[in-house]
């Protein structure tokens, strides 16, 4: 029963994460900029998560670990989320959501290059599958390698780096406290960018609803993910999380009228199969 509850929580988390990618274009249509949306999302969600830590008496990280988390949130995660959410303003949300899920393949490549991890034949096969899926996903796109597509790919690479560095920093830290610090640091950094570039909120009530829903989805996604993670483990959580881009594709078709053709959807399936395969290979190492 505990594993079933955990699986349901991870699925809820994935739905919330996938929904955020579709809410962003709705906020943009109402006049908000990606920077303003991200500032409000991270600052409000970060404050709420820090408040949750205080109420639950979860200890804060200290020293070099705290500084490292602040730098990851204030610089690295700012760059990653800005690339991702700017891509959502230029390219179909479903396509952006699928391309982000190249990050496990990039993590494997970083491990091989930076940490001399051995790329086994199964891992190489999974990487080949991910590249083939990317080719199928991008080939039918009329814009080819547009700026939006390049930003989506950049977001995947930056997120992979965030995973690798974050794993090292968060080895002995409660993931909830680490996430709270990263989110608040990201919000503060976006506040600095807003101060320089200007605060541009939505001009319609629908935009504010989309922003409020984005903040709510952030809190739900993180809260249910960490609770579910404790029940099912990281490998099962990673596999269950692969429903996220399908949620984005489905909601983008429903709410935004976007359509990915059959070849692009096949490419997305190949990318996600590569993710599942890589995750299973990591499980065999433990």
The confidence score (pLDDT) of residue 27 equals: 97
Which helix (H) or strand (E) covers residue 285, if one does?
helix 262-285
Decide: helix, strand or coil at residue 7: helix
The confidence score (pLDDT) of residue 108 equals: 87
Kindly list the domain boundaries of the chain, sorted by start residue.
2-285
| Residue ranges for the chain with pLDDT beneath 70 | 139-145, 235, 282-286
The confidence score (pLDDT) of residue 33 equals: 96
What the block records as the tokens of 152 is 């989506």
B/e letters for 52-76, b = 16+ CB within 10 Å, e = fewer, are: bbeeeeeebbeeebbebbbebbbeb
Q: Closest by alpha carbon to 10, among 275, 241, 248?
A: 241
- For the purposes of burial, counting CB atoms within 10 Å of the CB of 273, is it exposed (0-12), middle (13-18) or buried (19 or more)? middle
The confidence score (pLDDT) of residue 98 equals: 92
What the block records as the tokens of 149 is 């597509």
Neighbouring C-beta atoms of residue 192, cutoff 10 Å: 12
């Amino acid at each position: 029963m505990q594993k079933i509850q955990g699986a349901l929580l991870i699925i809820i988390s994935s739905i919330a994460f996938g929904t955020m990618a579709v809410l962003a274009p709705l906020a943009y249509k109402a006049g908000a900029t990606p920077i303003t949306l991200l500032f409000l999302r991270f600052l409000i969600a970060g404050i709420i998560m820090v408040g949750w830590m205080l109420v639950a008496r979860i200890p804060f990280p200290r020293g070099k670990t705290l500084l490292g988390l602040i730098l990851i949130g204030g610089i690295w995660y700012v760059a990653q989320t800005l690339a991702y959410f700017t891509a959502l303003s230029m390219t179909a949300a479903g396509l952006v959501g699928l391309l982000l899920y190249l990050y496990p393949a990039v993590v494997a490549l970083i491990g091989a290059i930076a940490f001399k991890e051995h790329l086994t034949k199964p891992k190489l096969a999974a990487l080949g599958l991910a590249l083939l899926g990317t080719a199928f996903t991008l080939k039918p796109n009329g814009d080819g390698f547009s700026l939006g597509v390049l930003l989506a790919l950049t977001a995947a690479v930056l997120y992979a780096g965030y995973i690798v560095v974050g794993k090292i920093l968060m080895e002995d830290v409660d993931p909830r406290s680490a996430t709270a610090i990263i989110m608040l640091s990201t919000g503060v950094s976006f506040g600095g960018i807003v101060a320089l570039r200007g605060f541009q909120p939505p001009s319609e009530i629908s935009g504010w609803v989309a922003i409020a829903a984005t903040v709510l989805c952030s809190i739900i996604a993180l809260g249910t993910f960490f609770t579910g993670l404790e029940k099912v483990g990281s490998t099962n959580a990673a596999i269950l999380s692969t429903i996220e881009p399908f949620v984005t594709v489905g909601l983008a078709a429903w709410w935004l009228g976007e359509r990915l053709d059959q070849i692009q959807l096949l490419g997305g399936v190949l990318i996600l199969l590569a993710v599942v395969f890589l995750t299973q290979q990591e499980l065999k190492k433990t």
